[in-house]
A = this chain, B = another copy of it.
Amino acid sequence: MIEKFRQFAKVPPKGWNSWDGYGASVREDEVKRNADYMSQHLKQFGWQYITVDIQWYEPSADSSKYHDFAPLVMDDYSRLLPDPKRFPSATNGSGFKPLADYVHHLGLKFGIHIMRGIPRQAVHKASPIKGTDKTARDIALNNICPWNSDMYGVNVDMPEGQGYYDSLMALYASWGVDFIKCDDIANSVIYNGTHKKEVEALRKAIDKTGRDMVLSLSPGPAPVENGAFFQHTANMWRITDDFWDEWSLLLNMFDRAEKWSSMSRPGNWPDCDMLPLGHIGIRSVDGPGGNRQTRFTKAEQKTMMTLWSLMQSPLIMGGELPDLDDWTSRLLTNRELLKMDDRITEKYQIYRDKKMIIWYAASSDSEYHAIFNVSDDELTLTGSQISSFDLPLKGYNVWLDQDVTLSTKQTIQIGSHDVYLIKTSIN
């Protein structure tokens, strides 16, 4: 019997997230204009989530660099609230309800980022926990996120600890949140792995709300040996550390994708992280470069989109949507790739050497073969070499958008960091 929460994400979620553009500092108007664009141009292709990333409760946030120990906006029950200066509609304790409503009216879904745990300021003040007679001090654990100073962990072995997560998810459900990206939980460098107990507490807390909220876990790399655990608790989980527009990180994703390829299935999607495409780094100073167009070459962008789609990764656009150029728009609206992402049922690496990597995938009616040139030089292959890897010589070349037939003596060229992707029908 399939677990209910897996039905919240029957296909890999597709959407936009504020991190690559704004770091911790995004404002309401910026969120809205990206939602507007998605509604008009991308919604019909399956894109639907608009997610506000980290620290919407931090009044002084101005980039992706955190201000350690800064005071946060919080309600009376140790729960963080959107800063009304950055999110004007959040005044009078209305939280993200108005913004979620706005996004819903556009026919889209609304997501937020949260950090594992309870605000440290609540712990040191001994603030109340809703529905219990305990305070934040009573349920906090002396463990932290190594890269952000907002929270302490929560002792969910105490009913009041579970109660805290219940009260959080109830609040978010009441706002109309559709997507929870919980951070500092899938992998911790200092505590060696996944905070499993708090993942389980989140799972229970979401189930109790009765609302279909997708659960996404960060940061990566999530430990592969917890794959079965994630399948039964979350909808998606990050398989690498933060991904940016740098070839070495893209190359590294092939390793991670290979290891995780057999662990994805409807409702459970190992996540290759956001797509740093188009205009990024507007106020985010994370990653390489500043305010910029993506540093990926077109070949690399094709490689990225092919690998993400073969792997059925969630597709979460990081770049500013209103600034999309034609090339990037077409990347995000390529129907064949989006179909792969949704409908593939089996995928795996079939060959790898220092120059090229070959993947195979299949859906109910099609097979896909991709040859990635991971070398710094152009790669030339004869039809007969291609056959020797059990690849078809005849099929639909996805990136050329045309049917092709190759003889054994003909050759193809694949540019450096580019990809050759062939689709064939299963009859």
The yes or no answer to A144 lying at the interface (CB within 8 A) is yes
CB-CB contacts below 8 Å: A290-312 with B: none
15 new A-B pairs (CB below 8 Å) besides A121-B124, A142-B144, A228-B260?
A68-B141, A69-B124, A69-B137, A120-B124, A124-B124, A144-B144, A190-B191, A224-B224, A224-B225, A224-B227, A228-B261, A228-B349, A232-B348, A232-B350, A263-B263
* Chain B residues with CB below 8 A from A225, complex form: 224-225, 259
Most chain B CB atoms below 10 A, which of A121, A146, A190, A349: A190
CB pair A68 B142 closer than 8 Å: yes
Asked if A217 is at the interface (CB within 8 A of a chain B CB), the reply is: no
For the complex, is A407 an interface residue (Cβ under 8 Å from B)? no
| Chain A 137-150 per-residue mask, 1 if CB under 8 angstroms from chain B, else 0 | 10011111011110
The reply on A1 being an interface residue by CB < 8 A is: yes
15 contacts between A and B (CB under 8 A): A1-B362, A68-B137, A68-B141, A69-B140, A124-B124, A142-B144, A142-B146, A142-B147, A142-B149, A224-B225, A224-B227, A228-B258, A228-B260, A228-B263, A262-B263
List residues of chain B with CB within 8 A of the CB of A263. 227-228, 262-263
Q: Considering the complex, give the chain B residue whose CB is closest to the CB of A261.
A: B228
- Shortest Cβ-Cβ A-B pairs, 3 listed: A224-B225, A142-B149, A228-B262
Give a binary string over A226-241; 1 marks a CB under 8 Å from any B CB, 0 the rest: 1111011000000000
A426 at the interface (CB under 8 A from B): yes
A321 sits at the interface (CB 8 A): no
- Shortest CB-to-CB span from A231 to chain B, Å, is 5
- A198 lies within 8 A of chain B by Cβ: no
Among A35-80, those with CB < 8 Å from B are: 68-69
Over the window 109-124 of chain A, the binary record of Cβ atoms lying under 8 Å from chain B Cβ atoms (1 yes, 0 no) is: 0000000000011011
Q: Per a CB cutoff under 8 Å, which of B69, B123, B227, B426 touches A123?
A: B69
Task: Check A367 for interface membership: any CB of B closer than 8 A.
Answer: yes
Say whether A228 contacts B259, CB under 8 Å: yes
> Which residues of chain B have C-beta atoms less than 8 A from A231's C-beta?
262, 348
What's the least CB distance linking A266 to chain B, in Å? Answer: 13
Q: A69-B124, A224-B225, A232-B350 known; A146 and B143 CB under 8 Å?
A: yes
Residue of B nearest to A155 (CB): B68
A236 CB to closest chain B CB, in angstroms? 15
One digit per residue, 1 when the CB lies within 8 angstroms of any chain B CB and 0 when it does not, for chain A 342-364 equals 00000011100000000000100
Would you list which residues of chain A between 188 and 223 have a CB under 8 Å from chain B? Answer: 190-191
Return the chain B residue nearest A263 by Cβ: B262
Residue on B nearest A347 in the bound complex, by CB: B228
Given the complex, which residues of B lie within 8 Å of A140, measured CB to CB?
68-69
A104–B144 CA distance with the chains assembled, in angstroms: 42
- Taken together as a complex, chains A and B put the C-alpha atoms of A32 and B147 apart, in Å, by 44
Closest to A191 in B: B190
Known: A68-B140, A68-B142, A140-B68. A1 touches B228 (CB 8 A): no
A1 vs B367: C-alpha distance when bound (angstroms) = 8
Partner of A190, one of B126, B141, B190, B229: B190
* A362 contacts across to B, CB distance below 8 A: 1
In the complex, what's the smallest C-beta–C-beta distance from A101 to chain B, in angstroms? 35
Q: How far is the CB of A6 from chain B (nearest CB, A)?
A: 11
Q: How far is the CA of A349 from the CA of B146 in the complex (A)?
A: 30
Which residues of chain B come closer than 8 Å to A142, judged between CB atoms? 68-69, 144, 146-149
